[in-house]
Homo-oligomer: A and B are copies of this chain.
Amino acid sequence: MTPVSARSGKTLPELFLKAAIEAIEDAGVDRIDSIYVGNMMSGFLQHQEHLGALMSTALGKEGVPAYKVEGACASGGVAANAGVKAVLSGLEDVVLVGGVEKMSGYTTPEVTAGLMMAEDRERVGSTGITFVGLNALIARQYMHKYGVPHEAIAQLPVLLHQNALENPNAEFHKQVSVEDVMKSPLVADPLRLFDCSGIGDGAAAFVLAPLDQARKFTDSPVKVAASAVATDVLSLYQRPDITVFEASRKASAQAYMMAGVHPDDIDLLEVHDAFSVLGIMALEDLGFARKGAGADLVNNGVCAKNGRLPTNTFGGLKARGHPVGATGVYQIAELAMQLSNKAGKCQVDHPSVGLSQSVGGIGSTVAVHILKRTG
């Protein structure tokens, strides 16, 4: 993966190449059969599509099947799902999944408009509400419905900024306190600056292969035990309860069944904390806490690196950064690094089963992956 940066100065292929080459070298594979590229905004911001052929060419792998997969901010997660299906199909064995996004170098209105492409442009975008504004509605309703104070939710960004201190690829290396969060500028009431992930460029990648083939390249491949995608009605106004992401519940239920595990078996977590409240809701919707009690897991130390369920150990969207179409791939790559003891200073003690949750739009697309240690 590349460092996430709002000043990368790099083009889409430059970002992708760095991550792809690192992934291929780390995997030790001698060939790539196909490439799946997760990306959300290249058409709108860079006026560039056709990222499949663009990236296969940049990588010197012209010839192989390659295309872009898009599911808003879950583009990386759904690209991973496409890669898993490609391997399961038997048509391709050694598959490169990459996610890339370039968000810097544009004005705030441009990026804000780009993010609203995740919602219904016609019916919701036309009202003028922003993507942060929609998430602020969720935060307000969540706090009200469950009586959870903002300060409790604010513990999540505090933890994630702490985790990111050890991650050389993190966008932010800055410790913050609950007080810092609560005093940071309002972005969309009640969300404050430190409740929100930032704008950043980045790319991440990993290599998939059938397990028997993967064993030729490494003694301890990480097993993809589940890959599940679910959707929900696209827009917030269509939901009976905006404090629950049904697509998270559905995708995780399928993933648990596919992997033959229970939430209690998960000992490493990557959740989509684009906004602090989303990270808290994820803990609930994925089955780790009842509704309204997600923040307790953070505040009781369960989600800490030395807790029972280390969460976003590289800093999460909040502090590692959120280059939208790449984020789902960062999450899976980070799980894989942890599960193969390659997480460096971010390493937690011998995790066995990790789960990643990648969210597109306002919970409208959710991709869940479960990875297991084999070594």
Contact = CB atoms under 8 A, between A and B. Distances in A.
Given A85-B85, A360-B53, A46 B121 contact: yes
A64 B230 contact: yes
A65 B230 contact: yes
B78 A67 contact: yes
A231 B360 contact: no
Interface in A271-293: none
Given A64-B230, A234-B57, A119 B50 contact: yes
Contact of A71 (B46, B52, B85): B52
A69 B72 contact: no
A214 interface: no
A86 interface: yes
A302 interface: no
A216 interface: no
Interface in A220-243: 227-235, 238
Given A70-B67, A84-B89, A88-B90, A365 B231 contact: no
A99 to B, nearest CB: 13
A69 B67 contact: yes
A60 to B, nearest CB: 9
Interface string A364-375: 110000000000
A209 to B, nearest CB: 15
A81 interface: yes
B42 A122 contact: no
B113 A53 contact: no
A228 B64 CA distance: 10
A44 B71 CA distance: 16
A125 B47 contact: yes
B234 A66 contact: no
Nearest to A324: B49
B232 A360 contact: no
Contact of A57 (B113, B114, B233): B233
A149 interface: no
A47 B43 CA distance: 9
Contacts of A365: 50, 52-53, 66-67
A234 B62 CA distance: 8
A109 interface: no
Interface string A339-375: 0000000000000000000001100110000000000
16 contacts: A11-B122, A43-B44, A44-B47, A49-B72, A49-B117, A50-B72, A52-B365, A57-B231, A63-B231, A68-B71, A70-B70, A82-B85, A84-B89, A85-B88, A85-B89, A91-B227
Closest 10 pairs (CB-CB, A-B): A43-B43, A88-B89, A65-B229, A50-B72, A53-B364, A49-B117, A85-B89, A68-B70, A67-B71, A48-B121
